[in-house]
Structure 1
Amino acid sequence: MVIRDATPEDATAACEMLRASIIQLCVADHRGDPDILGRWLANKTPDNVATWADGQGRSLLVAVEEGAILAVGGLAHPGEITANYVSPQARFRGISAALLAELERRAMALGARDVALLSTETAHRFYLARGYADVGVPAGKFGTAASYPMSKTLATAP
């Protein structure tokens, strides 16, 4: 597996993987509600994903194996993780953890000392296990029951 910067040419495959991840793996969040899914998936289009890969104040990374995109991660520069989704077929292989570590390295390289993210219910324990802490009151996003504002300190001040 290789983690690399996404290109606009990755947009269609990355979009399909994002949508499959949300639909199949985030059931605890959307509860099969078509209205919630519709809102959550509305911006997951190939055109939008291509713009996320433009490097303009953001990074979009993909984990690729044998030509298939297994995970997609996003970072708003310098330190907000905006996405970390894994393909349903690649779940429990450590790919999300590897992608998260690479997003954190990228944030540190950009000067971030802390990273922030908004976790789904599905991923909340995953982030807690990797040193993230809740930093606010959970609130629903797209109509989900809870989205958890979280943060992690990457480096201490000199």
Structure 2
Amino acid sequence: MEIRLAEAGDAEQACTVLRRSIRDLCIEDHRNDEASLRDWLANKTPAQVLAWITLPGSHLLVAVEGEAIAGVASAAANGEILLNYVSPDFRFCGVSKALVSALETHLRALGCRRAFLSSTLTAHSFYRGLGYRDTGPAEAWRTMKAQPMEKPLAE
């Protein structure tokens, strides 16, 4: 598996990974409620993914296995992990862990002392296993809940 910066030509396949991951793997969060899914998927379009890829200063990564994009992740320069989604075809293969590790390495290089994120219910135990800790109660996010978490980044 290769972890690399996303390129413009990755936008469509990366978008498909985001949408499939949300629809197929995050059922605990959206509970197959079409309104929740519609809200969550609204900005997960090929055009929007391309905009994220080409945004100056963007750090959107893809995990690639052969010709397939296995996962998509991104972080902001302030230390916030914005995306971390894996294709259902590559679940439990270490893709998300590798992406988070690459994001943390990038954030350390930027001088960030911590990484922080809002976790879905689906991913909460995954992040806890990587050393992230809850920073407060779960917050309302659209029709779902998001758990704020953070992890110190050792220098």
Aligned residue in 2 for 1:20: 20
How far apart in 2 are the matches of 1:55 and 1:4? 16
TM norm structure 2 = 0.97
Contact 1:121 1:147 (C-alpha < 8 Å) held by counterparts: yes
Q: 2:73 corresponds to which letter in structure 1?
A: G
Say if 1:78 and 1:111, in contact at 8 Å, map to a contact too. Answer: no
Quote the residue 1:148 is aligned against.
Answer: 147
The count of residues paired between Structure 1 and Structure 2 equals: 155
Q: Is the 8 Å Cα contact of residues 81 and 117 (structure 1) preserved in structure 2?
A: yes
Cα drift, residue 140 of structure 1: 2.5
Q: How does 1:39-78 map to 2 (within 5 A)?
A: 39-78=39-78
For the 8 Å contact 1:82–1:117, the answer to whether it is kept is yes
Deviations 1:57-77 (A, max 9, x none): 331000001110000001111
Equivalent residue number for residue 90 of structure 1: 90
Q: What is the CA-CA distance between 1:141 and the residue it aligns to?
A: 1.4
Paired residues of 1:5 and 1:59 also in contact (CA < 8 A): yes
| Residue ranges of structure 1 left out of the alignment (5+ in a row) | none
Over the aligned positions, Cα root-mean-square deviation in angstroms equals 1.0
In 2: Cα distance, 1:92 partner to 1:113 partner: 28
Q: Separation in 1 of the partners of 2:107 and 2:15? A: 23
Letter in 1 for 2:118: L
Task: Identify which range, 35-44 or 72-81, moves more after superposition.
Answer: 72-81
Percent identity between matched residues is: 49
Q: Is the 8 A contact 1:131 1:152 kept in 2?
A: yes
SS at match of 1:21: helix
Which segments of structure 1 move beyond 3 Å, counting only runs of 4 or more?
none
Match of 1:58, SS state, is coil
Q: Between Structure 1 and Structure 2, which shows a larger proportion of helix residues?
A: 2
| Deviation of the 1:55 alpha carbon | 4.8
Please, which runs of 5 or more residues in structure 2 have no aligned partner?
none
Q: Does 1:99 align with 2:99?
A: yes
Alignment of 1:29-44 (within 5 A): 29-44=29-44
Distance in 1 of aligned mates of 2:57 and 2:116:
16
Match for residue 120 of structure 1? 120
TM-score between both structures, scaled by the size of structure 1: 0.95
In structure 1, the partner of 2:5 is 5
